[in-house]
A and B are shown apart, each in its own frame.
Chain A
Amino acid sequence: MDAYDKVTGRAKFTDDLCPKPCLEAKVLHSTIANGVVTAIDTSEAEKIEGVVGVWTCFDVPDIQFGTAGHPWSTRQSHQDIQDRKLLNARVRCYGDNIAAVVAEDTVAADRALRAIKVTYDEYPPCLDTESALHPGKTGELHQERPDNVIAHMDLRSKVRGERYQSIEQILDDPSLHHITQHSATPRQSQVHIESCTSWCKMENGRITCVTSTQIPHIVRRIIAQALGIGWGQVKVIKPYIGGGFGNKQDVLFEPLNAWLCMQVGGRPVRLELSREEVFFATRSRQPKTFDVEAAYDDHQNLVARHCVAYSNQGGYASHGNALVANSVNSFRQLYDMRELASRVEATTFYSNQITAGAMRAYGVPEGNWAAECLMGDIAYDQGWDGCDFRLNNAMTKGYVDEFWPGKLACYTDGLRECVRRGKADIGWDQKRAEYAHQEGPIRHGIGVALFSYKTAVAALSLETASARMILNQDGSVMMELGATEIGQGADTIFSQMAAQAIGIPTEWVHVVSTQNTDTSPYDSGAYASRQTYVSGTAVRMVGEELGEKIVAYAHEMRPDAGDLRLVDGRIVDAAGEQVLSLEEVAQESYYSLDHAQQLFAEDTAQVKSNTFALGCCFVDLTVDVPLCKVTLDRVVEYHDSGMIMNPRTAEQQVHGGIAQSLGMALSEELLTDPASGRILNPNLLDYKIPTAMDLPDLEAGFVETYDPTGPYGNKALGECPCIPAAPAVRDAILNATGVKFYEAPMTPQRLFEGFKREGLI
């Protein structure tokens, strides 16, 4: 729907809509990671020409709020942790927000930032697991949680069968094979190309915030909560956005922007982050560690697995433990078919690292990394075929999660076909034979990884979506949703769904792409690969309702025509003959002198089901051992995401996801200076996303199944491709070199250390 406007530059993004000139807001970030701001001298800054005002952590409302893009919960125990103010005197991470400037332009604002003098009481930073969990007096970052533990979970499965009483017995059984591993995943950054940007103004005593977000309705709530004003006092507008990848599933600087706007009498104020700030002052993937212990038998069966995960959340809770919970749950779920018991533990803790948050696939790539390091090593150690071993233990149709509230189950069986096709495409058997006995500096390797990913967040959390449709006079339909287009093609797919539900051509659906919380129906927004599944359910429901109303009205117009249906924009009788055009029905409904009735439908769908999407990735690569360099030769990925709504946009989503996963595999990580807590590489030169020169043609395929729980047999896809490529690369490097890597990304430096350790160089 939006391709033409985006390609021609006609599509409007947040900054395009900002009235210029406007006032510019800039944030002063702390230059320490741990401590307290004792004083801020703004007198020099205020004298600078063009500066309108300077506000500090001592001026903001004494209100703590949470920022995670989760639906609100009316149960207090399920609410996100409320642990930050608009600006904070207690500095919890390097780059914490401690003051803000509003000026006539960004040059004046930048000059003012440089002129502000800050005095700190500085404490040593607690950056790693050890120091953060033994904080001492100065390491206590939030008085509500003196031990820095945000949450701890421990899930022990039932022990299946009669042979063992506990998982500990299995893990001690000398008749089984045993393996332990320590693996780690990096602080990856979302790297959306549009910065985090918003602008605010006041009208009629209310605040309007136009922002680049995935979650406009949640932004409205959190601005209101942070400022202590009524939710209805806030209007949030979300135009087209240039990517989010989870970073914009958090409420970042919108509340501060709104508050600053109120301080300057409601004049338009823009707050646009620099690329560097996007890296260090927003969110990133949580760095995590996994200690895994497993037992398996001689017949390629896992018997038990135990995983202990730690997640370094940084200064503020944001999404908190939900992320690592997803990691360990996915670890557990994918390969749970044969094992007799499993146990997963996860701890999320505060530290003086920068704040982590949501990123595409929300913890699952990390858990999958740990799960696949384990599967890869076992297959390698035993000489088993990696596909056979994985499939023997992998999720099949009928699997139901033991712990998840409601029913979280596997309803389709496309995974095996995915692996079959992937093997054929990449030439698995031939390549494995060809690469079996290599020597010398240049070596080739082939690898595989599987994944599972649940769809949306029901029934652990709320899943609700609303839609509104109005029949226009010409027979076309206006559709308005709370669900958001974030570049993933949601508007296109919702239009297709609505057209099918109503019975009209897709081109007749006019979707209102921009959300305005004053008028858009409620939807939590774009995350959790939820929208085609949950919002799609609402679209189908409302579309069918509108179709029925149209047919009922047509009956009024042609009471003798018998059974009528709306097919492809025409009212037809039982024989399929056109009785009325839809335009005729629409015109009459608007302008009838007997019964004028605008035809519209509006409703809410609450979804309580949940289903797994599955798939696999194959990687063929070349390792230049002396130069410690990996060249990707082929990447093939297959997905069972149920029915595919739009093959072309689906394929593009998979390409983008693979690229992000390959980034996690080989090059992407934000590095923290161990002395100061400062991010060392907050720019696009030193934070290495793969370029077109680094990627082969990415090959995406789909095994279409029909998922009975989805509105059109569909389920999650958007985040899935971000999961398996990284561990598949790891598996291929193992195949090529025999060297086992456990820490992503496998940078040249880490490859060097590994090859050196194993005597390859």
Chain B
Amino acid sequence: MYDIEYLHQATSVDDAVAALAADPLAQVIAGGTDVLVKLRDGKGAPAHLVSIHGLAGELSGVTLLDDGCVRIGANTVFHSVTTSPVIQERIPVLGEACDTPGGPQLRIAGTIGGNLCNGVTSADSASTCMALGVLLDLVGPEGRRTVPIDEWYAGPGRTVRRRDELLVAIRVPRSHYEGFAGEYIKYGKRNALEIATMGCCCLVRLAEDHDTLADVRLAFGVAGPVPMRSHAAEDGVRGLSVAQAAERVGELALEDTRPRDSWRASKAFRQQLIKEMSRRALMSAARKGGATV
């Protein structure tokens, strides 16, 4: 049994925000795949929960806005991101990343919004969202605001979202994805039910010769305390051929990343993964973009 003292089932975004504001102990629960795991361990018990589980409307589903921006309701479960026609057509790499957390049961319960609000570096959707430079729309008692994802993380397991704010949507502006092909590689010790030992997403936009890298985005999970981009690697390989970039991208990525020793993997091993996965993600993304390497 879970130690839940109070549960408010929200009827709307405003209702959820009001309930959060009214009770200083209240926290949001959506899919519950993080909150309940912690609660089971006694963390946050006795819990006061404001549930947005199943709340439809602006929180749910993937839509293509008139300006070409892809909007993902925060309550959209991983599986729905993966199977969304908009995602499959416009940003398949994000759908692929959302197909990697846990197993099928988790992916039908866990939400992409929760994955980002949880704030952990290993979140499977985070490095791809980082590479895409997504915008995060929040609603709080004082109204709405938007935070770009590179200003989102405040430390391990922490974000700039205030306790009484609700993440309502993740937006990917057209220019952030159009023309890019991407690859997310999750490195786990097994092939399912896994937390990433390292996550790496690379987006590339090829020039007309199908070989020169017109633009590159490279982002990591578990390469530091929070998901991060490697600007050194991006700047260092932009304008190179795919083959040249593949040679250099791994070493360059090491300059920006700060993996640590833990019982899950040593720093040296994680650095090996950063090097190798950067190279492979770049090559694979380039191939998807039409390169013949």
- Interface residues of A, count at CB 8 A: 30
- Are the CB atoms of B1 and A107 closer together than 8 Å? yes
* Set A106, A628, A671: member contacting B263, Cβ < 8 A: A671
Given A110-B45, A691-B192, A693-B190, A749 and B272 touching (CB < 8 A)? no
Chain B residues within an 8 Å CB radius of A692: 192
Q: Look across to chain A and name the residue whose beta carbon is closest to the beta carbon of B191.
A: A693
Verify if B268 is at the interface (C-beta below 8 Å from A): yes
CA distance A680 to B194 in the complex (A): 16
- Secondary structure class of chain A's binding surface, majority of residues: loop
* Set B42, B193, B263, B265: member contacting A748, Cβ < 8 A: B265
Verify if A437 is at the interface (C-beta below 8 Å from B): no
- Are the CB atoms of A114 and B272 closer together than 8 Å? no
* Set A105, A114, A685, A756: member contacting B193, Cβ < 8 A: A685
Verify if A714 is at the interface (C-beta below 8 Å from B): no
Most buried by A among B42, B266, B272: B272
- Are the CB atoms of B272 and A761 closer together than 8 Å? yes
Verify if B276 is at the interface (C-beta below 8 Å from A): yes
Verify if A694 is at the interface (C-beta below 8 Å from B): yes
Q: Look across to chain A and name the residue whose beta carbon is closest to the beta carbon of B190.
A: A694
Verify if A214 is at the interface (C-beta below 8 Å from B): no
> Which residues of chain A in 242-268 are interfacial with respect to chain B, using CB atoms and an 8 Å cutoff?
none
Q: Look across to chain A and name the residue whose beta carbon is closest to the beta carbon of B3.
A: A107
- Are the CB atoms of A680 and B189 closer together than 8 Å? no
Most buried by A among B3, B103, B190, B194: B190
Chain B residues within an 8 Å CB radius of A673: 263
Chain A residues within an 8 Å CB radius of B45: 110-111, 114
B-contact 0/1 string along A653-681, CB 8 Å cutoff? 00000000000000100010100000011
CA distance A294 to B231 in the complex (A): 55
- Are the CB atoms of B190 and A749 closer together than 8 Å? no
- Are the CB atoms of B276 and A627 closer together than 8 Å? yes
Chain A residues within an 8 Å CB radius of B193: 684-685, 691
Given A107-B1, A110-B45, A628 and B272 touching (CB < 8 A)? yes
A-contact 0/1 string along B89-116, CB 8 Å cutoff? 0000000000000010000000000000
Given A107-B3, A752-B269, A114 and B42 touching (CB < 8 A)? yes
Chain B residues within an 8 Å CB radius of A694: 190-192
CA distance A590 to B6 in the complex (A): 64
CA distance A490 to B194 in the complex (A): 34
* Set B1, B195, B197, B263: member contacting A680, Cβ < 8 A: B263
- Are the CB atoms of A748 and B3 closer together than 8 Å? no
* Set B190, B192, B264: member contacting A667, Cβ < 8 A: B190
> Which residues of chain B in 194-235 are interfacial with respect to chain A, using CB atoms and an 8 Å cutoff?
194-195, 197
CA distance A680 to B265 in the complex (A): 13
CB distance from A307 to the nearest CB of B (A): 30
> Which residues of chain A in 110-162 are interfacial with respect to chain B, using CB atoms and an 8 Å cutoff?
110-111, 114
Q: Look across to chain A and name the residue whose beta carbon is closest to the beta carbon of B197.
A: A748
- Are the CB atoms of B192 and A693 closer together than 8 Å? yes
Verify if B273 is at the interface (C-beta below 8 Å from A): yes
Verify if A747 is at the interface (C-beta below 8 Å from B): yes
Verify if A690 is at the interface (C-beta below 8 Å from B): yes
CA distance A756 to B268 in the complex (A): 10
Given A627-B276, A752-B268, A752-B269, A111 and B3 touching (CB < 8 A)? yes
CA distance A685 to B103 in the complex (A): 11
Chain B residues within an 8 Å CB radius of A626: 272, 276
CA distance A692 to B192 in the complex (A): 8
Given A626-B276, A693-B190, A110 and B3 touching (CB < 8 A)? yes
Chain B residues within an 8 Å CB radius of A681: 263
CB distance from B7 to the nearest CB of A (A): 14
CB distance from B218 to the nearest CB of A (A): 17
Verify if A688 is at the interface (C-beta below 8 Å from B): yes
* Set B1, B190, B197, B264: member contacting A106, Cβ < 8 A: B1
* Set B1, B46, B187, B263: member contacting A105, Cβ < 8 A: B1
Given A628-B269, A748-B197, A761-B272, A667 and B189 touching (CB < 8 A)? yes
Chain A residues within an 8 Å CB radius of B191: 691, 693-694
CB distance from B263 to the nearest CB of A (A): 5
CA distance A114 to B41 in the complex (A): 11
Chain B residues within an 8 Å CB radius of A693: 190-192
CA distance A161 to B233 in the complex (A): 69
Q: Look across to chain B and name the residue whose beta carbon is closest to the beta carbon of A680.
A: B263
B-contact 0/1 string along A732-756, CB 8 Å cutoff? 0000000000000001110011001
A-contact 0/1 string along B56-80, CB 8 Å cutoff? 0000000000000000000000000
Q: Look across to chain A and name the residue whose beta carbon is closest to the beta carbon of B269.
A: A752
Chain A residues within an 8 Å CB radius of B3: 107, 110-111
A-contact 0/1 string along B1-13, CB 8 Å cutoff? 1110000000000
> Which residues of chain A in 677-733 are interfacial with respect to chain B, using CB atoms and an 8 Å cutoff?
680-681, 684-686, 688, 690-694
CB distance from B106 to the nearest CB of A (A): 11
Chain B residues within an 8 Å CB radius of A114: 42, 45
Chain B residues within an 8 Å CB radius of A110: 3, 42, 45
- Are the CB atoms of B189 and A688 closer together than 8 Å? yes
Chain B residues within an 8 Å CB radius of A106: 1
B-contact 0/1 string along A76-106, CB 8 Å cutoff? 0000000000000000000000000000011
* Set A685, A686, A748: member contacting B269, Cβ < 8 A: A748
CA distance A761 to B193 in the complex (A): 28
CA distance A626 to B246 in the complex (A): 14
- Are the CB atoms of A627 and B266 closer together than 8 Å? no
Chain A residues within an 8 Å CB radius of B263: 671, 673, 680-681
CA distance A673 to B263 in the complex (A): 9
Chain B residues within an 8 Å CB radius of A686: 195, 264
CB distance from A625 to the nearest CB of B (A): 10
Chain A residues within an 8 Å CB radius of B194: 685
CB distance from A109 to the nearest CB of B (A): 9
A-contact 0/1 string along B253-287, CB 8 Å cutoff? 00000000001111011001100110000000000
Given A106-B1, A114-B42, A680-B263, A688 and B276 touching (CB < 8 A)? no
- Are the CB atoms of A748 and B189 closer together than 8 Å? yes
- Are the CB atoms of B190 and A688 closer together than 8 Å? yes
Chain B residues within an 8 Å CB radius of A691: 103, 190-193
> Which residues of chain A in 20-72 are interfacial with respect to chain B, using CB atoms and an 8 Å cutoff?
none
Chain A residues within an 8 Å CB radius of B276: 626-627
Q: 6 shortest A-B CB distances, which residue pairs?
A: A693-B191, A693-B192, A626-B276, A752-B269, A691-B192, A106-B1
A–B pairs, 22, beta carbons within 8 Å: A106-B1, A107-B2, A110-B3, A110-B45, A111-B3, A111-B46, A626-B272, A626-B276, A627-B276, A628-B269, A680-B263, A684-B193, A685-B194, A690-B190, A691-B192, A694-B190, A694-B191, A694-B192, A748-B189, A748-B265, A749-B266, A756-B268
Where the two chains meet, the residues of B that have a C-beta atom closer than 8 Å to any C-beta of A are 1-3, 42, 45-46, 103, 187, 189-195, 197, 263-266, 268-269, 272-273, 276-277
Given contacts A110-B42, A694-B190, 19 further A-B contacts (CB under 8 A): A106-B1, A626-B276, A627-B187, A684-B193, A688-B190, A691-B190, A691-B191, A691-B192, A691-B193, A692-B192, A694-B191, A748-B269, A749-B265, A749-B266, A749-B269, A752-B268, A752-B269, A752-B272, A761-B272
